[in-house]
Amino acid sequence: MSTPIYLSAREAAAELGVQPATLYAYVSRGLIASVAGPGKKRRYDAADVRRLKGRRQVEDHTGAKPLTGDPVLETELTLISEEGPVYRGRLARELAETSTLETVATLLWASGDDPFANNIPKPPPVLPAGLGALDRLMMALAAWPLQDKAAYTLAPKLLQAKGAALLRYSVAALLGKEPVAVPIHTQIASAFGVSASAKNLIRAALVLCADHELNTSSFTARCAASTRAPLHAALLSGLGAFAGPRHGAAPDRATAWLAEIQPDTDIEALLADRLARGETLPGFGHSVYQGRDPRADCLLDILFRTESGHPFVERLPGLISSADDLFGLPPNIDLALAVIQKTYELPRDAGKIIFCAGRMTGWIAHALEQYASHEKIRPRAAYVGERPE
């Protein structure tokens, strides 16, 4: 067996013709293996580098580009690592232990001052009864110019304060309440009428959901911002992508099958029946992480520490073990949100509301970063249809 050859970061990046940040993104996605090198530097598997280089050359030659996997633009906001998201150099799992969403927003937005200070927007307009949380938010964002005469500003010195006001306004719309000058996790916990332990889980979940690099909704928000659409329109664009069952509504799918679990339910038999019917197991597996979703592990760990005597929480390790045995997949953030909703008997759509409130922080960060760029995002398609004779 030949001895593996390893390259320095500079050599690997030069071989691929990319910036070091892009090389690190390849590593975080499991495309290139890295090992500890001299000092604190890491070394990169030359075989993986050349394999990826060959793949990229084929793609360049054929014009075919994958829709997922490869970096398409540079960002200073979030790195997806084996330990989960890293927000501007800070590991999200560590921030989730004590930080608030407002603290993380200030970090991601690179705010010098506190953009939330003395910044309480007017309430959303009265909306039609019967709307779901995301639909309320869509209508409220569309009505934002009625609340703010400077809604269309792109002045850098105003945008962070606009972002803070929009975040508070949006959380109020999601909850059907009025904006208040209290931490967002406190407002959500109050609206749900839950205990202090549930409030702490909501706080941690908001932090862990704040950003996840170029997920579909964040990329959509960036595309809108690249056209110089105003901030509320960029958020509305991100929200449209978020609303789908393969993204922001995914916790609902996990919540639906978890609702079948009663105190006397045979969980292994329940999962085996799903497998036999060819059904998927929402809340397990992730397209980005090669192994476990560290965000889910973090939330579940806090839950186990907090609610060790809860009957449903006591059954969770067995549920997760059965899912691994039958489906070969670990839990993801959607399962963790659904579990929190079931454990504390939160209202309908609670997991989705928490997810959306947290992720809006990231949409604002991506929009602000994109406004600072001169580039308009305009990818090309690989045409495979008929051509004229």
Q: Where are the alpha helices (DSSP H) in 63-155?
A: 92-95, 101-108, 133-142, 144-147
> Would residue 334 show up in a list of annotated catalytic residues for this protein?
yes
- DSSP-derived secondary structure letter, 177: S
CA distances from 155 to 144, 282, 313, 368 (A): 17, 42, 48, 10
Q: Provide the CA 8 distance to its chain's centre, in angstroms.
A: 31
Strand partners, 91: 86
Is residue 224 within 8 A of residue 369, CB to CB? The reply is no
Strand partners, 42: 36
By CB neighbour count within 10 A (0-12 exposed, 13-18 middle, 19+ buried), where does 232 fall? buried
Contacts 24+ apart (CB under 8 A), 176-184: 176/133, 176/136, 178/123, 179/120, 179/121, 179/122, 179/123, 180/120, 181/116, 181/120, 183/100, 183/101, 183/102, 184/100, 184/101, 184/102, 184/357
> Would residue 366 show up in a list of annotated catalytic residues for this protein?
no
Is residue 175 within 8 A of residue 347, CB to CB? The reply is no
Q: Which of 70, 135, 247, 286 is catalytic?
A: 286
* Nearest alpha carbon to residue 369 among 144, 108, 151, 141: 108
Q: Which of 334, 349, 366, 374 is catalytic?
A: 334
Query: Catalytic amino acids?
Result: 286, 334
